[in-house]
Structure 1
Amino acid sequence: MSARNPGMQLDLEWVSKVRVNHQAVLKRAQQIQARKLAKKQWQAAWLLKAVTCIDLTTLAGDDTPSNVHRLCLKATQPIRHDLLKSMDMHDKDITTAAVCVYPARVADAVKSLKAANSSLPVASVATGFPAGQTHLQSRLEEVRLAVADGASEIDIVINRMLALTGQWEALYQEIRQFREACGEAHMKTILAVGELGTFTNVYKASLVAMMAGSDFIKTSTGKESVNATYPVAVVMVRAIRDYFMRTRHKVGFKPAGGIRTAKDSLVWLTLMKEELGDEWLRPDLFRLGASTLLADIERQVYHYVNGRYPAYHELPLA
């Protein structure tokens, strides 16, 4: 992982001056979506890059040790070995970036990865995911328990009420406490942008989260009605850029929720490359939160290698 973001004192003057030009954001997002995407071997290479940035996720009420185990095995070997061999990429250690689960399943994931002799990090959602509407003490304890079980990354959710009512000092203090509870674990802060109302609010919440020491800012839980969208991403990555210009600390970005196709992943990589540059095109500064995306990427890689799409039974379940 990249160097931690130590955060800074809350600068309310900076936060209060934020104004986002709604139309300009929409126009920029349209430009990025209209870009011509790479084809043939270039597309295959970008898709493998996308795989290495995926937080392979299962956040379902019916999660069991066995489906978490299967997820972990898929994370360690995300693309079929023979397909990688055809591309001369079989020895490049292509894995996903991490496995992401609920706190109660962290120990299962750690055990499975250890058995597979893998050093992949386990990320755990926490702090009353997805709504964040539980008492502060129980949210903090959830972080500590997930870390104790072996999670090396914690995806926290902010208390949207504080952002919606402009209580930035209170939000800052809560996130600082979560950061402290994380200890050595990296902290990703989920803004739940679909519930923040305006682009200006999204930008302010992004800034406050970074000032409080977030190592990543993440769009959504995947459980809201609106999740990762390109306009919101433009706002968040501009906040990351401004924070970097001011502090020289790099903060990562993680879109999550509704990212399902290989084409989607290429647009997200394009957005990162254009807005933040090649340095951010690495798993320590860019993650894609997804559960079904990998299946479509593997399908496209299969098509690149074999010239046809696979039958349903030809690829293992993602």
Structure 2
Amino acid sequence: MPTTASAAPAASASGPRQAHGLGDVTASDTTLRRFLHGLPGVDTVGLEARAASLGTRSIKTTAKAYALDLAISMVDLTTLEGADTPGKVRALGAKAVHPDPTDPATPSAAAVCVYPDMVPAAREAVAGSGVKVASVATAFPAGRASRAVKLADVREAVAAGADEVDMVIDRGAFLAGHYLKVYEEIVAVRETCGDAARLKVIFETGELSTYDNIRRASWLGMLAGADFIKTSTGKVAVNATPANTLLMLQAVRDFRAQTGVQVGVKPAGGIRTAKDAVKFLVLVNETAGGDWLDNHWFRFGASSLLNDLLMQRQKLATGRYSGPDYVTVD
């Protein structure tokens, strides 16, 4: 069975607290630029063809049942709207703990992801369950604020009890080539999280323009101490795709091979069906390997995905689809 969100394999990235042996490349803007631009260029045609090919893999009944449960256990059930209320967040937390109240064998989701001011309500809802509370921070989703404001955002989330922080990078600084500025900001956020919260670093891949930039951002985030690298906020036109997720999976695989440090991956935005989720799990298995098939190392950032996973799980168990009232509308 899939592991729960409380599982914590021994090897994990912990920012500056865990040496990765590549400190010399972050000594200056010049050395960091040289390193990032020295990474192998991405073969766009090859990357997209590989992602498309893996998406055609057939999953048989027994494996599909396992994959559906695994995907459910990897969902960061998310609400990031201006109209969020404590009641809505508590309802979402209850759903994360018991996604299908009619079937206690259904795994819990990995986490509930909310804005910092909603963290207390989320913690109340998931108390004692093992479901984590994740909070976006650093002036999400645009990231257009001073470092002092961003770090205050992180401190608020951690003080409220967030187990995980999802930060956004300064895409403007990255695209202007100010890599050291972006690196130092991630390091500062990682230090602010301390031992209290794991850090997910969001690149907003749809705004980075090229696969080469996504590869560079992946390595930059990992060098700075990300526990997870995450595709997107879900607030732009292009979010998680099989190709950009495949590229990030290659990056975490290669980073561990070079440094011994394992980093997680979180595709977010646009993954709405169980069929899509299973395709992403195939990407994980075939690219990074089975060590990442665990919700400590792979997550789905989603709001609607869980409902389709539950309906497909019920269809597999009973041979028929439920009516529209089988799942809640979040």
TM-score range, shorter chain: over 0.9
1:238, CA displacement in angstroms? 1.2
CA distance in 1, matches of 2:120, 2:80: 15
Which residue, 116, 128, 132 being the options, matches 1:103?
A: 116
1:111, CA displacement in angstroms? 1.6
Identity of matched residues, %? 42
CA distance in 2, matches of 1:228, 1:265: 11
Which residue, 174, 188, 191 being the options, matches 1:163?
A: 174
| 2:184 aligned residue | 173
- 3-state DSSP of counterpart to 2:275: helix
* Counterparts of residues 150-299 of structure 1 (less than 5 Å): 150-184=161-195, 185-299=197-311
RMSD: 1.4
| 2:98 aligned residue | 77
Letter in 2 for 1:56: L
* Counterparts of residues 23-102 of structure 1 (less than 5 Å): 23-36=45-58, 38-82=59-103, 90=105, 94-102=107-115
1:95, CA displacement in angstroms? 0.7
Letter in 1 for 2:294: R
Letter in 2 for 1:44: A
1:169, CA displacement in angstroms? 1.1
1:112 aligns with 2:133: no
Paired residues of 1:47 and 1:262 also in contact (CA < 8 A): yes
Aligned length: 307
CA distance in 1, matches of 2:97, 2:234: 23
* Counterparts of residues 138-149 of structure 1 (less than 5 Å): 138-149=149-160
What residue ranges of structure 1 are gaps of 5+ in the alignment? 85-89
Letter in 1 for 2:155: R
| 2:13 aligned residue | 5
What TM-score do the two structures reach when normalised by structure 1? 0.93
Q: Deviations over 1:194-252 (max 9, x none)?
A: 00011001100110100000000000000011000111112111111121111010000
1:163, CA displacement in angstroms? 1.3
- 3-state DSSP of counterpart to 1:34: coil
CA distance in 2, matches of 1:182, 1:122: 14
| 2:5 aligned residue | none
CA distance in 2, matches of 1:176, 1:314: 44
Paired residues of 1:4 and 1:186 also in contact (CA < 8 A): no
CA distance in 2, matches of 1:178, 1:34: 39
CA distance in 2, matches of 1:288, 1:119: 17
Of 205-214 and 165-174, deviating more is: 165-174
- 3-state DSSP of counterpart to 2:167: strand
1:16, CA displacement in angstroms? 1.9
- 3-state DSSP of counterpart to 1:239: helix
- 3-state DSSP of counterpart to 2:296: coil
CA distance in 1, matches of 2:220, 2:263: 12
1:300, CA displacement in angstroms? 0.8
| 1:87 aligned residue | none
Of 122-131 and 234-243, deviating more is: 234-243
Letter in 2 for 1:176: V
1:132 aligns with 2:143: yes
What residue ranges of structure 2 are gaps of 5+ in the alignment? 1-7
What TM-score do the two structures reach when normalised by structure 2? 0.90
CA distance in 1, matches of 2:209, 2:117: 32
Letter in 1 for 2:156: L
- 3-state DSSP of counterpart to 1:81: coil
Letter in 2 for 1:136: R
